Amino acid sequence: MLRVGAALALAGALVTVEAAAAPAPPIALRAGKADGPYYALAKELVAALGRLASPAPTIALEESQGSVQNVIDAAGERARALFTAPPNVIAEARHGDKPYGKNPHYQDIRALFPIPFQTMHWVVRADSGVTSFAGLAGRPFIPGTRGSLGERQTAALLKLLGLESKVQLIDIDSSAAPSALKSKQVIGFAIAGPYPIPALRALAGEVPLQLLSLSSEQRSRALASDGTTVAMTIPHGTYPGVDDDVLTVALPAALYATTRLSASDAYRITKAFWTGRTALSASDPVWASVAPAQVSMLGAKLHAGALRYYREIGVKVPQEQR
């Protein structure tokens, strides 16, 4: 009997050791549809974190229905998970707007770090003579695919500037815009995305381009009329032939979790991102636009683990995000 008992005890100990040594299950990262901008960024992020010498916890990228569903799922499930979203979506959920409904767990959402913002580009041919938005009057211009960020921001800006009935807006898909511009069917088009947009850099190599810049006053008015965007400057030299800084607006975005993610995991993920950002930027320059100062634009408190890292590196965090 003693031998049997000892054997059972030994077997139990072995099971305990094996269980302790088993790796933790991957953390799911939901980042929108596979053909969307956030999914593409998340795919690069997961690959980069996995290559680091001191990697973050294992992250498994998952397709989702988009930011709205990401936020709903984050509040409704009990598992630890990560997701991408713009801050305005989280604010709408916390207000109980449709389709979110009332759920106290929206208050559990925490920010880790920014990802490249969707930056507005208003593009015109450099030989068109158009140097300001007023110059678009009477000219054919593609505002972007209907319902897209580009289309919405263009419509809002033209209305703000009193140009909504003066510009010939062409309703075609954004994918057809470069060809239409090259053939001079349109004077320009709007497009949103993290800069530099590869397709736009390629186009600038074929046709001299100019990016329309908002004046400081125009940008202030645009931001005051729209609580979803922030100020953004596209540095000169980002695109061939664009030799001046371009004042514009952008929709912020970030990687979020909930309080169900441990502080240890949040710290490791956040640290891995910032220490690996230079290498990530080398493979895709859009990541170079991400800066610690953007943490204040994320519309949510920081996760305790992320806050610990920002304090270590001396990033000033607003009181409302602590």
Last residue of a domain, one of 251, 277, 304: 251
> Contact, 51 vs 272, CB < 8 A?
no
The answer on 231 and 153 residing in a single domain is: yes
Residue 59 resides in a domain: yes
Nearest in space to 100 (alpha carbons), one of 77, 68, 123, 130: 68
Q: Is residue 6 part of a domain?
A: no
Q: Does the pLDDT at position 5 exceed 70?
A: no
- Asked whether the predicted pLDDT for residue 217 surpasses 70, the reply is yes
Q: What is the pLDDT of residue 274?
A: 96
CATH code of residue 277:
3.40.190.10
Give the model's confidence band at 196: pLDDT under 50 very low, under 70 low, under 90 confident, else very high: very high
Same domain membership, residue 125 and residue 81: no
The overall average pLDDT reported for the chain is: 91
Query: Minimum mean pLDDT among 19-23, 166-170, 211-215: which range?
Result: 19-23
Query: Would you say residue 315 lies in a domain?
Result: yes
Q: Would you tell me how many other CB atoms lie within 10 Å of the CB of residue 151?
A: 19
Could you list the beta-strand ranges (E) of the chain. Answer: 27-30, 59-62, 81-85, 109-114, 118-125, 140-142, 168-169, 188-193, 209-211, 230-234, 246-251, 254-258
pLDDT at 1 over 80: no
Same domain, 110 and 132: no
Query: Does residue 20 lie in a domain region?
Result: no
Look-up of token digits 């031998």: 3
Question: Is there a contact between 188 and 141 (Cβ–Cβ < 8 Å)?
Answer: yes
| Same domain flag for 270 and 244 | no
Q: Determine, yes or no, domain membership for 4.
A: no
DSSP of 19-81? HHHSPPPPEEEE-S-TTSHHHHHHHHHHHHHHHSSSPPSPEEEE--S-HHHHHHHHHH--S-E
Assess whether 106 and 30 both reside in one domain. yes
What tokens does 99 get?
Answer: 């389709």
- Considering the domain architecture, whether residues 205 and 316 belong to the same structural domain is answered as no
Do 106 and 141 share a domain, yes or no? Answer: no
Widest distance between CA atoms in the chain: 96
CA distance 185 to 17: 70
Question: What's the CA gap between 108 and 300, in Å, rounded?
Answer: 9
154-175: per-residue pLDDT in tens? 999 999 999 999 999 999 988 8
Domain tally, the chain:
2
* pTM (predicted TM-score): 0.88
- Does any domain span residue 12? no
Residue finishing a domain among 205, 223, 251: 251
> What pLDDT shows up at residue 53?
66
Question: How does pLDDT run across 265-305, given as a tens digit for each residue?
Answer: 999 999 999 999 999 999 999 999 999 999 999 999 999 99
| Residues 221 and 126 grouped into a single domain | yes
Residue 10 lies in a domain: no
Q: Do 143 and 229 share a domain, yes or no?
A: yes
Do residues 85 and 122 both lie within one domain?
A: no
244/134 same-domain check? yes
The stretch 221-226 carries a mean pLDDT of: 95
Cβ-contact 316, 295 below 8 angstroms: no
Extended strands (E) in 78-207: 81-85, 109-114, 118-125, 140-142, 168-169, 188-193
The one-letter amino acid at 149 = L
Domain co-membership, 142 together with 222 = yes
pLDDT value for 14: 38
Residue 138 Rama label (left phi>0; alpha psi -120 to 50; beta): left
Q: Which domain holds residue 179?
A: 118-251
Q: Report the pLDDT averaged over residues 25-35.
A: 92
Contact 320, 301 (CB under 8 A): yes
Does residue 280 form part of some domain?
yes
